[in-house]
Amino acid sequence: MGIRKFRPVTPGTRFKAANTFEEITKSTPEKSLLVSKKSSGGRNNTGKMTMRYLGGGHKKKYRVIDFKRNKIDIPAKVASIEYDPNRSGRIALLHYADGEKRYILAPQGLQVGQTIVNGPKAAPEIGNTLPLSQIPLGSLVHNIELQPGRGGKLVRSAGSFAQLLNRDGKYAIVKLASGETRMIVAACMATVGSVSNPDHILERKGKAGANRWRGRRPRNRAVAMNPVDHPMGGGEGRASGGHPRSRKGLKSKGYKTRTPKKYSNRFIIERRKK
């Protein structure tokens, strides 16, 4: 796993830094776990554009990922580590002892041929999924549930991890990658280890066309628009646009948008770093 740089034979390769993909062991996905994925181009059912800056991009098939890890005490063998166009981390194909196949988020260090298990009796080793109540304090975890049985919601992107700090009654105290420390019900499941592909943050696309391949169209500045299009548009010359705000008039750059009485505030011990 690493990053390769290119000889500057074209302007697009001068600053490009791409992944080496050396950890990937299989190039074709498991057909039974593929679902077709429709691209909207940012349009709704009447063809009207409701999301800007979307459209184009390479066609993708969605890989069905097992975020719940609810096959308890059935050992599974890692058959391959694969690329997934829908996420930044890698995915691993598991062959369970009962014959079922499933994709999971591949943790860093997971090897082909390794056996992993889900459930409270599993050993706290990389790739195994256990309740937070059974994981040793200080362990790095990912794919954390917020409600028991609902599947992992937190810490799923490339290279990310959270740390289990403590347990207090029926709650576990977890420090997230953002710096936020919060309480999560200890019965919630989490996978031991950090998510694979930590070098994703070092990749550089090199040219605007690489964003178009991903379905992202050019994003123009608000101050360059007309007043009818944006609150910060218009003015003579290079007008600054007044207070920074969104298209709907909400202030940005420091204006807090989180609901003051949000139900989950009581679970947050320390807010994320500003």
Q: Which residues pair with 181 in a beta bridge?
A: 175, 270
Strands (E) in 86-186, as ranges, are 91-96, 101-105, 115-116, 129-131, 140-142, 144-145, 152-154, 162-168, 171-175, 181-185
Residue 157 neighbours by CB under 8 Å, 6+ apart: 87, 88, 89, 195, 200
- Spatial contact of 50 and 88, defined as CB atoms under 8 Å apart: no
The CATH architecture one would assign to domain 3-201 is Beta Barrel (2.40)
CATH number assigned to the domain covering 224-265: 4.10.950.10
Per domain, the residue ranges of the chain are: 3-201, 224-265
Q: Residue 215's closest CA among 56, 94, 104?
A: 56
One pLDDT digit (tens) per residue for the chain, 274 residues: 689 999 999 999 999 999 999 999 999 999 999 999 999 999 999 999 999 999 999 999 999 999 999 999 999 999 999 999 999 999 999 999 999 999 999 999 999 999 999 999 999 999 999 999 999 999 999 999 999 999 999 999 999 999 999 999 999 999 999 999 999 999 999 999 999 999 999 999 999 999 999 999 999 999 999 999 999 999 998 887 788 999 899 998 888 888 999 999 999 999 987 7
